[in-house]
Amino acid sequence: MLNRFSLSGKCALITGGSKGLGKQMAISLAIAGADVLIVSRNSKEGERVAKEITEKTGRKCFFIKCDVRKYNDVKRCVEKAINKLGKIDILITSAGINFRHNAVDFPEEKFRDVIETNLFGTWYFCKQVGKYMIERKYGKIITLGSILSVVSLPERTAYASSKGAVLQLTKTLALEWAKYNINVNCLCPGPFQTPMNEKIFKDKKIKKFFLEKIPLSRLGKVEEIGDIAVFLSSDASSFITGSAIFIDGGWTAI
């Protein structure tokens, strides 16, 4: 049974793979046996993390610089990724950003940046890798939504809008591509202890607010999202598609 969770012989492309949840998912997939390629806008950070993953897991890990907001950049990146890996069995679209502002004061350029990164970046990679997976009639795609795909908080108009759209994009792709043996699912995390959230959770009042929303009364550990990513990338999840998988300590159950 455990062989169905193995990713031996598989190749994965992970956007936003140089830090936070994306980095952990890259590490977890490599530990499970996959060769991985991480995508980021930061060359120095990306090269360092790729080397770190190879040294830690013994698997091949490559890095390609790419701006997920630019379609031609994404197209070039996917072509390079296939050449480096030989194939792409798994795609995880983890690249994402967040800006917080009241709706009436939200700068247009920042709102647009969130939508272009979180939604268009996801769509661009799904579109390009999806073409390749359709030809091979196999693929596992994991998009990164959020608990804010289905609930919301003040000052999150851009982020919640983008993540709600990612969830609907995921469901539609799952319906279109099921006949090609491609599973498309949306992983929806709640608050995790990541470098991006460190500044927020240093504020005791803010941390208390979040913990009171979580029935398990703690933040997520990055390793926990890695485990779910391995499952959704493996043959063990072959009958799951078009689903939103919430890893939020119970937040959305309330």
The number of folded domains in the chain is: 1
Are 37 and 63 in contact by the 8 Å Cβ rule? The answer is yes
Q: Is residue 254 part of a domain?
A: no
Q: What is the pLDDT of residue 103?
A: 97
Q: What is the pLDDT of residue 156?
A: 97
Task: Indicate whether this model's pTM tops 0.95.
Answer: yes
Domain of residue 15 covers 2-246
**Which pair of structure tokens corresponds to residue 9?**
């012989």
Q: Residues of the chain whose pLDDT is less than 50?
A: none
Q: Is residue 24 part of a domain?
A: yes
Q: What is the pLDDT of residue 2?
A: 79
Classify each residue of 199-234 as buried b or exposed e, where b means 16 or more C-beta atoms within 10 Å of its C-beta.
eebeeeeeeeebeebbeeeebbebebbbbbbbbbbb
Backbone angles phi, psi at 58, to 5 degrees: 80, 0
Closest CA to 55 of 31, 90, 32, 19: 31
Q: Is residue 251 part of a domain?
A: no
- Rounded-to-integer distance, Cα 46 and Cα 62, Å: 9
**Which pair of structure tokens corresponds to residue 10?**
């598989």
**Which pair of structure tokens corresponds to residue 220?**
């997520």
Q: Is residue 252 part of a domain?
A: no
Q: What is the pLDDT of residue 42?
A: 95
Q: Cα dist. 34→26, 27, 29, 54, 177 in Å?
A: 9, 9, 6, 11, 23
- Rounded-to-integer distance, Cα 157 and Cα 169, Å: 18
Q: Is residue 211 part of a domain?
A: yes
The alpha helices in 1-119, defined as continuous H runs, are 20-31, 43-57, 71-85, 108-115
Q: In this structure, what CATH number is given to the domain that contains residue 172? A: 3.40.50.720
Q: Is residue 227 part of a domain?
A: yes
- Strands 35-40 and 11-15: what pairing? parallel
Q: What is the pLDDT of residue 199?
A: 80
Dump pLDDT digits (tens) for 30-70: 999 999 999 999 999 999 999 999 999 999 999 999 999 99
Q: What is the pLDDT of residue 200?
A: 83
Task: Kindly list the catalytic residues.
Answer: 159
- Rounded-to-integer distance, Cα 130 and Cα 176, Å: 11
DSSP summary character for residue 218: S
Q: What is the pLDDT of residue 202?
A: 87
**Which pair of structure tokens corresponds to residue 162?**
């983008």
Q: Is residue 111 part of a domain?
A: yes
**Which pair of structure tokens corresponds to residue 131?**
């073409």
Dump pLDDT digits (tens) for 147-159: 999 999 999 999 9
Q: Is residue 253 part of a domain?
A: no
